[in-house]
Amino acid sequence: MKKDQISVPGSSVSYGDAGTNLIDLMIILAKRKKLIIGLPLAVAIIAVAISLTLPNRYQATVKVLPPQQSQSGASALLSQLGGAASLAVGAAGIKNSTDLYIGILKSRTVADKLITRFDLKKKYDTESQDVTRERLQAVTVIAAGKDGMITVNVEDEGQKFVAELANGYIDELQGLTRTLAITEASQRRVFFERQLETAKDNLAKVEMELKGAMDSRGVISVDSESRAILETAARLKAQVSAKEIQLGSMRAFVTAQNPEFRRATEELGSLRSELAKLEGGRTGTSPSSEINQAGLDNIQLMRDLKYYQMLYELLAKQYEAARLEEAKEPSLIQVLDPALEPERKSKPKRALIVLVATIMAGFAAVAWAFFLESKQRAMAMPGGAARWDELKSYLRFK
């Protein structure tokens, strides 16, 4: 055994052989040092040049605290939004109000409002609304944390733009919550508002009919007793209709076993009984002998007029009560952290790009150096050139 070799029991490799192999590797690397140094250096220069051409991108974040509400209120809001919020919560169902508001933020309605507000078609150089929505979705991340907070992250070019766009999401969310009825109080307000508009239209219609009838048939005088009966009947009918409308609004939020619902049902039954007694007592008297058919038509119109007047007054009171109840509710959307103009860019990470490209080029250069050395040694061996030509022939696609 040579003096510079130390045998290792149970191993066929000696330290002398390992040292020789290491020296051989170093010789190969030193032999191709221009390639190993030059290729990573060239790639690094190219990576620096490319990274400098990439535009700076900034990220703005806004955090909001959504209000907590009942399941019925959330379901009712989705019914108003229709397909707008089905993109995010339609299939999976609503777990809480956070999911509901995330669904609104991701809706087509909000996206279209932002596209119009910030002229995103021009910014992204797109013609299709769908493509613009996809670009907007690509730069936006909307998520809910375990603490119940909703976070909206926008990453794009322009420090001022990303902050305004992130805050724009919350502005549109607040606008929709003011337009749509989310809470039970706001839903009742909208319900009575619609009923009030219907009663107002009917009242105006009857007033026009009565005016036209009096212009063509003349004014019919009614005695005080008949007028009192007419007003009482109209008032009872209006109270019955108002109570039916009230019960209709309550069915959306309470069950039939609810004490208030049961009390309102009993009141409706009592009003119907009074109205039936009044109308039954009037069947014995026939004014046809004293008043002609034209007069009866006018009296019917006057009764309808009184009915819609009283119904309008009752609905107006219920509408005002619902509006006051809605006004007592706290602010729906609470902005904890509004988006600010970012001071630092989020992308591109130029140092990381250059570092990764240089390292990969270094590995590639070392691998190519060993490949060239293997080829050179193979060509120096007897028959090596023929074997190399055979390999190249197999590598061709013909």
> Between the ranges 26-40, 196-210, 227-241, 257-271, where is the mean pLDDT highest?
26-40
CA 396, CA 324: separation in Å to the nearest integer? 84
Each residue of 277-321: pLDDT tens digit?
776 655 544 444 444 444 556 566 677 777 778 778 888 887 888
**121-125, 136-140, 243-247: segment of lowest average pLDDT:** 243-247
The per-residue pLDDT for 249 is 66
Looking at residue 86, what DSSP letter applies?
H
Mean pLDDT on 258-272: 77
- Average pLDDT of the chain is 75
Mean pLDDT on 77-101: 50
Mean pLDDT on 121-143: 91
Nearest to 207 by CA among 130, 306, 138: 306
The per-residue pLDDT for 295 is 52
pTM to 2 decimal places: 0.53
**118-132, 144-158, 367-381: segment of lowest average pLDDT:** 367-381
Q: List, in sequence order, the alpha helices (H) in the chain.
A: 15-31, 33-53, 71-81, 86-89, 97-105, 108-118, 120-124, 129-138, 159-179, 184-217, 224-250, 259-282, 293-327, 350-380, 384-395
Domain limits of the chain? 32-54+362-395, 58-183, 213-327
Nearest to 357 by CA among 36, 34, 42, 33: 42
Mean pLDDT on 319-342: 78
Residues 6+ apart with CB under 8 A from 130: none
**Residues of the chain above pLDDT 70, percent:** 70
The per-residue pLDDT for 299 is 63
The per-residue pLDDT for 265 is 81
Model confidence band, residue 145 (pLDDT cutoffs 50, 70, 90): confident
Q: Find where tokens 């087509």 sit.
A: 108
> Between the ranges 185-199, 282-296, 303-317, 349-363, where is the mean pLDDT highest?
349-363
Q: Degrees (nearest 5) of the Cα angle 323, 329, 332?
A: 115
The per-residue pLDDT for 21 is 80
Residues 6+ apart with CB under 8 A from 53: none
Looking at residue 220, what DSSP letter applies?
-
Give 192: exposed, middle or buried? Use CB within 10 Å, 0-12, 13-18, 19+: buried
